């Protein structure tokens, strides 16, 4: 399997606090079944601004100290109108040096400029990947709001921990609906600490397989992430509208 969202690089964001923690998480990743990990430290203007070359040095050091897992570079970029400039100025990175851009939204408000940023990314020939949509309150309120984004070309990356209730009941219910209605294209650990989500990957895989089946699970965990690393196009299924029940109406 390939983990496309992780905070394993030490001393750059709210993830790993030391090189020892980073090495432990890499060991846990291998034990959980991951052969490759894209490290995606937060890039938030004015807050987390460790640039591309600084991250690369830390990756090189980690890779030299272990060979269990291949480490690839990326970022989880906080939504900004400057997202293309950050990439072109080598302040932030695309996923594995591909055309795919992992970006996140605020967890407490719906961004007003979302579609503008999406189109600006695509105008540069890049493909936006939205990090953990099931965690955003506005998506939990109306998962169908993702259909417009998917039809526009946005790839959806959900977290393994969401299906196990790591982020609460609403998040769990939302990812269940998303999985049932073709609204998830990639899975990631979003790991920040040792002895956390990697220990629960087997349970998460079982729960996800119950919903999507074995073949589709393979696409979410390996085939689609491989397409990112190889800079190939991900084939996206048509999302299905989630019908609301009588009481929900």
Domain 2-229 has CATH 3.40.630.30: no
214, with CB counted inside 10 A (0-12, 13-18, 19+), is exposed
Confidence of residue 203 (pLDDT cuts 50, 70, 90): very high
Angle between helices 145-152 and 114-123 (to 10 degrees): 10
pTM comes to 0.97
Average pLDDT, stretch 9-20? 98
pLDDT tens across 148-166, in order? 999 999 999 999 999 999 9
Q: Which residue has the tokens 């851009």?
A: 101
Query: Taking 60 as the threshold, does the pLDDT of residue 66 lie above it?
Result: yes
Question: Does residue 171 contact residue 140 with C-beta atoms inside 8 Å?
Answer: yes
What is the predicted pLDDT for the residue at 245?
Answer: 64
pLDDT tens across 211-236, in order? 999 999 999 999 999 999 999 999 89
pLDDT tens across 76-106, in order? 999 999 999 999 999 999 999 999 999 999 9
Domain ranges (residues) in the chain:
2-229
What is the predicted pLDDT for the residue at 154?
Answer: 98
Query: Taking 90 as the threshold, does the pLDDT of residue 110 lie above it?
Result: no
Confidence of residue 112 (pLDDT cuts 50, 70, 90): confident
Compute the distance between CA of residue 110 and CA of residue 187 in angstroms, rounded to an integer: 22
């Amino acid at each position: 399997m390939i983990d496309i969202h992780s905070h394993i690089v030490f001393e750059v964001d709210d993830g790993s606090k030391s090189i020892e923690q980073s090495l432990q998480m890499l060991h846990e990743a291998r034990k959980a079944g991951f052969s490759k990990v894209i490290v995606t430290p937060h890039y938030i203007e004015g807050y987390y601004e460790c640039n591309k070359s600084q991250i690369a040095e830390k990756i090189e050091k980690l890779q030299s100290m272990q060979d269990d897992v291949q480490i690839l570079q990326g970022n989880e970029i906080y939504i900004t109108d400057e997202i293309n400039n950050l990439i072109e100025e080598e302040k932030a990175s695309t996923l594995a040096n591909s055309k795919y851009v992992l970006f996140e939204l605020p967890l407490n408000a719906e961004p007003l400029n979302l579609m503008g940023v999406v189109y600006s990314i695509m105008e540069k020939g890049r493909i936006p990947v939205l990090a953990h949509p099931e965690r955003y309150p506005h998506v939990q309120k109306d998962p169908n709001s993702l259909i417009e984004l998917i039809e526009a070309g946005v790839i959806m990356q959900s977290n393994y921990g969401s299906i196990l209730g790591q982020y609460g009941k609403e998040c769990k219910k939302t990812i269940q609906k998303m999985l049932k209605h073709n609204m998830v294209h990639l899975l990631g650990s979003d790991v920040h600490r040792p002895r956390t989500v990697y220990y629960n990957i087997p349970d998460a895989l079982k729960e996800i397989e119950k919903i999507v089946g074995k073949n589709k699970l393979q696409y979410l965990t390996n085939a689609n992430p491989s397409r990112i690393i190889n800079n190939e196009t991900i084939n996206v299924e048509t999302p299905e509208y989630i019908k609301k029940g009588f009481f929900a109406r």
